[in-house]
Every structure is written in C-alpha cells, then in structure tokens.
Amino acid sequence: MHLVQDTLSGFVSSGQIAGCSAKIIRGDKTCFEGSFGYADREKRIPMSDQTIFPIASMSKVVTVVGLMRLYERGLFKLWDPVSEYLPGFKNPTIAREKPDGSYDIVPAQGEVTMRQLFTMTSGVPYPGKDTAAARIADQKGDEYLAEHHTMPQTVDYCNMVGQLPLAFEPGKKWMYGFSIDILGAVIEVLSGKTFGAYLRETVFDPLGMADTGFFVPPEKRARVATLYHIREGLKPDARQYPTEKPIFESGGGGLFSTVNDYSRFAQMLLHGGTLDGERILGRKTIDLIATDHLTPEQQATHSWDTQRGYGYGLGVRVMTHPETADINGSVGEWGWDGAFGNWFCVDPKENLTCVYLTTNLPGDHYRFIPKLMAAMYASLD
C-alpha cells in the first residue's frame, strides 16, 4: 500500500490539508494504517489513530443501522407514513416556487414515507438558500430557537420540521437534506430511549466503539482534531464541541469518532451485520441498505460530482457504474462521507473496508477521494 502512503502523505506535505488518518482492512487483516500531519498544527499535536474527529454526515449510516434494528423487530415498515411516529408530518405541504422567486404553499398529494427519509427523496430540505422550502426552514428554525431559548429535544424539533413546507412532492426527486435527522427522532419514539443512549446500547458498546458518541467528555477533549479552512492557508476553525449530552442529538451529522472505532463499524457492515460474535443487523438487512433504491426519475437529480457512477440506497451511496465515476473500483462498493472531508467505503467484492478521516473546511471530497481510491485499488493483488 505504498501508493496510499505516498498519496496521503502528499496531501499533507503539499500543504493542501493539515492532517488525516486512514485504515484499510482486507480479509480481516489490516493492510494499511497511517496518520499524517497534525491534529492541531498550532500546538504541534500529531495526528494519530487516537485522534477524535467530528465525522459530520458519516453519522447518517450509524443512524440508519440503529433504526434498521427496529425494522428487523417489526416496529415499522419502509412504506409507513412518517406521521405514524411523528404527528407533525401529517398533512404535508409544498413550497411551489414561481419564476419571479416567490412561492405558493400547496397541499402535497401524498405523505412522506419512512423509505423516502432513508433515500433522501422526501423533499425535506436542509435550512439554507437554495429553495423556497430551505429558506422557510432557515427562518422557522431561527424563530423556534429564539422562542425556546435553547436547542429543543430531538422529537420536538423534528415534529416542528414536519410542519414546514417540502421542496417537492414526496418521492419525486433526490435531494440531500434533513431526512436522516428525522430518523433519529423516530428511533426515540420507537425505542423509548434517548437517541444517544439507544446507539450506545445497541451499536457502540457491542462493537467496542468507546470513543464514539454525540459529545466528547472533558477528559478526552485534548484528543479532538482542529478543523482547518483549507482554502485560507489552513486557518484554524475556532468552533467548540459539546462536552456533555446535547439536547438535540443529530443523527444526520452530530457524532464524533476515531479511525479505529469507525473501522469496526465498517467491518461489521462488511461482515453482514456481525463482528466478533456481536450481531448488530442481519445479513439480508445489510443487503437492503446497500442496494440502489432510486428510480430513473430520482437518479436524474442525483447529480453531485462525488456521486457520479453511484446510485443511492438507505442512507448510503452505492457504486453502479465505475466507468462513469472514472474510478478503478468495484460495482457494489458503498458507504458515505462527511462535510469535513471524511469518507469510508465497504467493498464486498474485494472483502475490504477503508476509513479516511480528516479536518477540511470545506470537505472538497472530489479533490481528494478519487486519488485515495485510485491508489487503494491499484494496490490490490
């Protein structure tokens, strides 16, 4: 794996990133592990396999696994309306945009389903400026926080989100949004436990993921990597992270983890839901997660650069056409990434997992990940 070594060390030595940590396991054997650069450049703290990273949207796959445990127990069906569990999603509306930038609020023809949350086809946006629905979510979220003077409980906030207009008719398109955070609230409703406690009991503790959770306790704070603005000369970011349980536990982007912890999670996925005798999910459930669920109409809107050649399963990308992606990988490779440049893959064909964690603002995945993948796959016998 000298190609991987050279590629990752090159990202750091060229000044493109501050540091990274990666682990590649094939056939239950670690064939590459390495840490490069600094977790904190200013304090000269080197990156290591003990470094704790905010993993952003790589949290989503953990949320999917947690909820699919409840699917296996018959507590919901994928085609169930979300309103069966979160009544705020009853009688949804759509913000229909006009050419002049205004919009009408009209009733949706159908309700948002659980399956549409998993597959990002629900029409529930992230707050932002891209669509009328996103702008409304941005405004209403700020108003909600101002009214309550603190972050609300996970279920309460997601019920509020359910009352906001959608960006489009449920199931019509693919759009990356707040959907999987809502699944975290469903977990609380179905399990009767807080989201973080449920994940600790059913995923993290069984897999030995001792450094993974929604906050970093004070005694581990020194191990948390600093984020760096990679287009501003590696300027450090000053954000603070929770040192105790947050009120809102974000299943879409709130977890912290290490390369070793997340590699155990990835290995569980590769091995059909079981690792070291601990069964988290059934093999056929893993197959369902890692199957492309998009219709041709939905696939037409699944157009990110990093998703070229991929379909989308239950919260994960799924490789369908390596030749379109320009990647020397495998049909069926799957996984996800995170806003700070993090990325992982599960490749059943090659019996391989790779976890790559870094500290980039912005993530710039398309600048780095294809190079990592090219080096990794070129190194295989």
Name the H helices within 164-306: 179-191, 195-199, 205-207, 259-270, 283-289, 296-299
**CA distances for 333 relative to 62, 270, 367, angstroms:** 17, 10, 20
Q: What integer pLDDT is reported at residue 114 of this predicted model?
A: 98
The predicted structure's pLDDT at residue 141: 86
pLDDT greater at residue 284 or residue 145: 284
Q: State mean pLDDT over 263-283.
A: 98
Condensed to tens digits (0 to 9), the pLDDT of residues 97-110 reads 988 889 999 999 99
- Give me the mean pLDDT over the 288-292 stretch: 98
pLDDT of residue 125: 97
pTM of the entire predicted model: 0.97
Phi-psi region of 226 (alpha: psi -120 to 50; beta: other; left: phi over 0): beta
What pLDDT is stored for residue 100 in this prediction?
85
CATH entry, 2-69+193-378, from 3.40.50.450, 3.40.710.10, 3.30.930.10, 3.40.50.300: 3.40.710.10
- Which residues, other chains included, contact 49 with Cβ-Cβ below 8 Å and sequence gap of 6+? 21, 23, 33, 35, 258, 259, 260
Residues 212-239, mean pLDDT to the nearest whole number: 97
| Residue 93 or residue 303, greater confidence | 93
Of residues 325 and 372, which shows the higher confidence score?
Answer: 372
**Paired tokens of 335:** 């996984």
Tell me the mean pLDDT in the region 202-226: 98
Q: Is 104 left (phi over 0), alpha (psi -120 to 50) or beta?
A: beta
Per residue in 356-371, pLDDT tens? 999 999 999 999 999 9
Q: What's the confidence (pLDDT) of residue 266?
A: 98
Mean pLDDT of 135-141: 93
List every span in the chain annotated with CATH 3.40.710.10.
2-69+193-378
Predicted local confidence at residue 304, as pLDDT: 87
pLDDT band with cut points at 50, 70 and 90 for residue 194: very high
Q: Distances in Å between the alpha carbon of 141 and those of 20, 136, 138, 159?
A: 34, 8, 5, 12
Residue 150 has pLDDT above 90, yes or no: no
The pLDDT value recorded for residue 144 is: 82
Length of the chain: 381
pLDDT digits (tens, 9 = 90+) for 326-340: 899 999 999 999 999
pLDDT for the residue numbered 146? 83
pLDDT one-digit tens code per residue, 27-57: 899 999 999 999 999 999 999 999 999 999 9
Tell me the percentage of the chain whose pLDDT exceeds 70.
100
Q: pLDDT grade, residue 271 (50/70/90)?
A: very high
